[in-house]
Structure 1
Amino acid sequence: MLSEMKKHAERCADMIRRTSEALVVSHIDADGLTSAAIIATALEDAGIEYSTIFEKQLGKDELSEIADTNPPLVIFTDLGSGVLGNIKELGITAVVSDHHQPSTTDTPPPRDEHLCHLNPHLFGISGSRELSGSGTTFLLARSLIQAQGHDNRRGLPCLAVVGAVGDLQHVKEGRLTGANRTILKIGAQNKELSYTPDLAFFGKQTRPIFKLLEYATDPYLTGLTGNEDACITFLKGIGIRLQGERWRRWIDLEENEKQKIVSSLIQHQITRGIPAHRLQRMVQEVYTLKNENEGTELRDAQEYSTLL
């Protein structure tokens, strides 16, 4: 399945290589922004000039405006699969790299001189859980730049993971799965990504630990969420030191301190009647971008995706 998708990504990349200029059209959300960044990097490596526009949605009006500019090639990322008929009708030469449910499920994917369509659904891969738009575009970009000697282009796996996390593809299983995981492992092999089970709350890189608990909403911490004083009292009560030279963040804690907080939070929730399935969401796989500065939002995939 993934191997066949990679072969088709190469065919789409061949179509891109034949142009000297492209218009990138992408969705304006975390997955779409990272998709655009991924393909832009590949186009730069391939020496292809490009411009970029972002759309909240892609309807006939938006497509007509694009067609009126008469671009030699349009690369749609994180959108386009639902409007393939309109793209062809308007005579737009395009590569569509998307993960949303396509308007056609022909197998193998339709390809002609003017349209190449790359979508995981066409290869039996879930576009809602196993491969995001940025992951799909990663496969396309990797095929495009292999000829440039950048098979393991650094940074691209990180962007694909950020896009997948922004698309919440890790939430159901508590970790990235399927083709997303293949990309994650490429990043880990490049030593630019790490992944480990950890507290799933937002702000581990940047927030003081009592604020981490105060703003926790998934799951909601009964008696703690929204109550700064209660969070401080809770942490002090289990022997956690809150300050050094500055307020301590999650990343400043020793491993035994983290374990104590997690186990105490679980016990706190259990005694308040919170069901087990909600407690499972407290600890999930967390993705760290190792080339970004520690203590910044860009270091953590969840925080990074929220910025976008």
Structure 2
Amino acid sequence: MTGPVPELAERATACANRLLEADHVLLASHIDADGLTSAAIAAQALERADIPFETVFKKQLDEDAIAAIADTAYETVLFTDFGSGQLDVIGEYEDAGKLTPIIADHHQPADRETEYHLNPLLFGIDGASELSGAGASYVLARALADAQDGGAAAAADGGTLEAADETTARADNRDLAALAIVGAVGDMQASGGELHGANAGIVEEGVEAGVLETGTDLALYGKQTRPLPKLLEYATDVRIPGISSDEAGALSFLEDLDLELQRDGAWRRWAELTSEEKQTVASALVKRAVSRGVPASKIDQLVGTSYVLCEEPVGTELRDASEFSTLLNATARYERADVGLGVCLGDRGEALEQARTLLRSHRRNLSEGIDLVTREGVTTEEHVQWFHAGDRIRETIVGIVAGMAMGNAGISRSKPIIAFAEKNDEECKVSARGTHSLVGQGLDLSHVMSEASQAVGGDGGGHDVAAGATVPSGHEDEFVARADDIVADQLS
């Protein structure tokens, strides 16, 4: 079988066959939404293949973390959603016979080769916009199912299966496509309102397997869980004067519509509306946006492709890929990756309740952080803008705060934003966020973070639209100056 991404099929098969040779495997993964879904996909694929494994999570795969992994009793290590950028260090342990790395990642690789390296960037596929870490893990999972016992999940003639029944979807791991899409959405790959490239192939398999539904819908966060007034009030990606960030305005807008907006004394949610009711609200939103002078290009962004996990209950954060990914990020940012993994693996009891508690705290911290940045403002250079939160914003969420603050009063969306937060007594965490429009003009924050951090004795990387670094404390001004110069060259 060629799998969902034909370009990666041969390499995925090689990686799968090597996993099947292992007596046991250490699964090491990143902790954000993409990392958690990557780990969950890999874990289920390994379990179904009867390969013993243990899972560990790392917030950062630095030299100490790699040394600790190499010091374990595991000879075979599967890295998901990281590892490519650290291949130079991992390779030293591989050369010393300490481990055999198998990498399913989508980040920019270091200047080093290894045999079992599954990364879309090696095959001409954009890892920032076309395939996430979870997508790479999914490609590996599909190959692993096919490789077992000569391809038990494949058609007898060597072709691909098209049946969408639950048993078949589980046998060939297509049921894991839903998690791959959550990872891609969480990694901000739904640019222009939808997933494309290699991700589209995974979406297609998820739909065929009966675990995903797609459709054109309002492109606002919170359609499953937020009461309608809050859905509109908090929708700030496309700002509509008199509604966005305006509690009374959003309420008044809805009350002017001839709809049943409350039932049993409670506001209904978008997911509970009929198709006709959704059309009424959407049309009124567009009309209001036009009347208030919102640019046509922005109005177009009000509508996008929805990715629904159709096996999850309506009205829960697990049914919408965007809300699911936010829930997972909430567990990761507060060092409870185990909770996020539990949710991904189907725990709808204790793990889900813990995740929801963390999400409430996460939202509160984000709100306070955004208020802080908006109130104090940013320092504007010629090509970048930046702020230093010190210890007032957690270093694990400062990047999210920076991205969400863009567009607020005094914070431009026409320049990338760089955020600093205290990591420890000796180091600062740096997070950078841009826009897809800036990326289209040449911005590559992965390169910016890598080059600027190395210039001051740090290390960094990531994606073109979002990246991060760790730098020695006291070198922030030097870092900003270097980043400003690099961005100037990219956007010139």
Name the counterpart of 2:19: 16
- In 2, distance between residues paired with 1:64 and 1:154? 34
8 Å contact kept, 1:142–1:151:
no
Structure 1: give runs of 5+ residues left out of the alignment.
none
- In 1, distance between residues paired with 2:309 and 2:53? 27
Equivalent residue in structure 2 for 1:159, among 153, 170, 179: 179
Name the counterpart of 2:117: 117
With 87-96 and 145-154 compared, the bigger mean Cα shift is at 145-154
Name the counterpart of 1:275: 295
Q: What is the 5 A alignment of 1:82-97?
A: 82-91=85-94, 92-97=99-104
Letter in 1 for 2:71: D
Shift of 1:155: 3.2
Name the counterpart of 2:105: 98
- In 2, distance between residues paired with 1:27 and 1:155? 22
Name the counterpart of 1:293: 313
Q: What is the 5 A alignment of 1:17-166?
A: 17-91=20-94, 92-104=99-111, 110-111=114-115, 116-146=116-146, 147=148, 149=153, 150-153=170-173, 155-166=175-186
8 Å contact kept, 2:308–2:321:
yes
Q: Deviations over 1:233-290 (max 9, x none)?
A: 1112122321123421111212122112112111212222221222222111010101
- In 1, distance between residues paired with 2:131 and 2:171? 20
Name the counterpart of 1:302: 322
TM-score (norm 2): 0.59
Q: Deviations over 1:131-154 (max 9, x none)?
A: 110001100011112225355325
Name the counterpart of 1:190: 209
Shift of 1:10: 0.4
- In 2, distance between residues paired with 1:260 and 1:56? 44
With 283-292 and 266-275 compared, the bigger mean Cα shift is at 266-275
Letter in 2 for 1:289: L
Identity %: 47
Equivalent residue in structure 2 for 1:200, among 202, 219, 223: 219
Letter in 1 for 2:306: V
8 Å contact kept, 1:193–1:288:
yes
Specify the SS of the correspondent of 1:195.
Answer: strand
Letter in 2 for 1:194: E
8 Å contact kept, 1:38–1:134:
yes
User: CA separation of 1:3/1:151 partners in 2, compared to 1, >3 Å: closer, same or farther?
Assistant: farther
- In 1, distance between residues paired with 2:229 and 2:174? 35
Name the counterpart of 1:234: 253
> Over the residues paired in the alignment, what is the CA RMSD in angstroms?
1.7
Specify the SS of the correspondent of 2:7.
Answer: helix
- In 2, distance between residues paired with 1:31 and 1:17? 24
Shift of 1:104: 3.8
Correspondence 1:262 to 2:265: no
8 Å contact kept, 2:175–2:209:
no
Provide runs of 4+ in structure 1 moved above 4 Å.
none
With 150-159 and 199-208 compared, the bigger mean Cα shift is at 150-159
8 Å contact kept, 2:193–2:219:
no
Shift of 1:226: 2.7
Letter in 2 for 1:241: E
Letter in 1 for 2:22: T
With 94-103 and 244-253 compared, the bigger mean Cα shift is at 244-253
User: CA separation of 1:47/1:67 partners in 2, compared to 1, >3 Å: closer, same or farther?
Assistant: same
Name the counterpart of 2:197: 178
Q: Deviations over 1:32-73 (max 9, x none)?
A: 000000000011011111111111221211111111114121
- In 2, distance between residues paired with 1:249 and 1:296? 11
Letter in 2 for 1:142: R
Name the counterpart of 1:223: 242
- In 1, distance between residues paired with 2:321 and 2:55? 24
Structure 2: give runs of 5+ residues left out of the alignment.
154-169, 329-492
TM-score (norm 1): 0.93
Letter in 1 for 2:72: T
With 204-213 and 143-152 compared, the bigger mean Cα shift is at 143-152
